[in-house]
Amino acid sequence: MSGEQRRAFRLLFLCLVCTGIGQAMLFAILPPAARELGLSEIQVSTIFVSSATIWVFVSPFWGRRSDVVGRRRIILTGLLGYALSMVLLATTIGLALRHSLPVTLVWPLLIASRCVFALIGSGTGPASQAYVADRTTADERTAGVALVNAAFGLGQTLGPATGAALAVAGLLAPIYFAAALAVVSAVVIWFYLPEGEPVRRADAVVETRLRFHDRRILPFLLLATSVQAVQATTSITLAFFLQDTLRLRADQTGQLAGLGFMALAGAGLFAQLILVQRFKLTPATMIHAGLPLSLLAFVVISLGPPFAVVVVALAILGVGLGLVRPGNAAGASLSVGPEEQGAVAGMLGAIGVLGNVFGPLLGTGLYSLTPRAPFLLNVAVMAAGLTFSVAHPRLRRVHS
């Protein structure tokens, strides 16, 4: 990898970190802001679910579009769409808090504002991954894709602390700050990120469009859905699980759940920024090492041991998922041609969001039966994923 490529990847990494910071701040700020406006928890969840549903259909379009018009233009469009969404959200909340907006319009406008992110902002992820794929060899691909995943992860780790610091300036300050970060990132991308020629003609034959059922990528899409579903299920039920199994007060639950999520995120970053970058692991190695680690972690968590053991299990899970996700994405990238990199990245982004929608719905439904049920479900999903990865020839041999 040349020095110019490294500089370009570092620049892209920093911009994606900024996007991750903004996302994490929004998840922390929107729920309490919504309560101030009198919205219920279900109404808040529909804001995100509506956006996620649109994302499933739009993300592949932006990935394919980046193959035609170039990666930088779609990354820039996505960042500006994200900034617009955040400004609309903050403005709607601000007007509602000042009683300058009819109550009946608040919830629909919040949904519409967030859907702007899905419609336009969903282009940044697939175009960024395709940008890395364009500029890496097969041997470098996994490390490059891991860098993209780690950028979002680092941003989501830094986001809550950044939001808490900015909240002293007002409830909406973190949201406006996130929008400003996205605009600055877009300017930097436009002026300093080098771009090559588009990899596909605008009049390319439609019949060659990559499909979800394409046998080259279908195993990777199925595995991506499973991994994202178990991660989302864990995120939504972990705090409830700790509170109920350890009989904690609400304040204790928040503190211990925060430590658990820090262990999960920190271990994932360690896997992507240290293990993958230093040891140049292949996609097959990452998939076949990460799945057993994830399975082991869920087995330990489902047994409901002391909190210290749960934290260790979450760290193991972080390493496992931190290996599987970029390994799977790199494997999918290596399975298609240069003119399909944007398309496959968009499909992976869409299918991941699909796991975010259905995983928590199923997990929270099972939680009503017993607190261990969601984690037992994750055990079953990871066991099935491990068996599938060993049995399927494409997952077993991808760039081994």
Tokens encoding 290: 């990460």
Report long-range pairs for 305-313 (Cβ below 8 Å, ≥24 apart). Answer: 307/242, 307/246, 307/256, 310/242, 310/260, 311/259, 311/260, 311/263, 312/263
Indicate the DSSP class of residue 168: G
Helices (H), ranges, 37-137: 41-69, 71-97, 103-120, 124-134
Structure-token pair, residue 299: 């087995």
Amino acid letter, residue 218: L
Note every long-range contact of 251-254, with CB atoms under 8 Å and residues 24 or more positions apart, other chains counting. Answer: none
DSSP 274: I
Say what the pLDDT of residue 393 is: 86
Joined tokens for residue 11: 């620049």
Provide the residue count of the chain: 400
What is the C-alpha separation between 227 and 356, in angstroms, rounded? 10
What angle do helix axes 218-246 and 307-334 make, rounded to 10 degrees? 170
Q: What's the CA gap between 6 and 269, in Å, rounded?
A: 19
What are the angstrom distances between the C-alpha of 361 and each of 43, 193, 212, 231, 233? 15, 40, 23, 13, 8
In the chain, the domains with their CATH numbers are: 3-195 (1.20.1250.20), 218-397 (1.20.1250.20)
pLDDT at 272: 92
Can you read off the two tokens belonging to residue 276? 């993958």
Q: What is the reported pLDDT for 183?
A: 95
* pLDDT score recorded for residue 206: 42
On whether the CB atoms of residues 271 and 153 are closer than 8 A, the answer is no
pLDDT digit string (tens) for the chain, length 400 residues: 567 777 888 889 988 898 888 887 887 677 778 778 888 767 877 887 788 889 888 999 999 999 989 899 999 999 999 999 999 999 999 999 898 988 889 999 999 999 999 999 999 999 999 999 998 888 888 888 888 888 888 887 888 778 778 878 888 898 999 999 999 999 999 988 887 666 665 555 444 577 878 888 999 999 999 998 898 888 778 888 888 888 888 678 767 887 888 888 889 999 999 999 888 888 999 999 999 999 999 999 988 778 999 999 999 999 999 999 999 999 999 999 888 899 899 998 888 777 777 776 777 788 888 889 999 999 999 999 999 999 988 887 765 4
How much is the pTM? 0.81
Q: What is the pLDDT of residue 43?
A: 83
Please give the backbone phi and psi of residue 19, each rounded to the nearest 5 degrees, phi first.
-65, -45
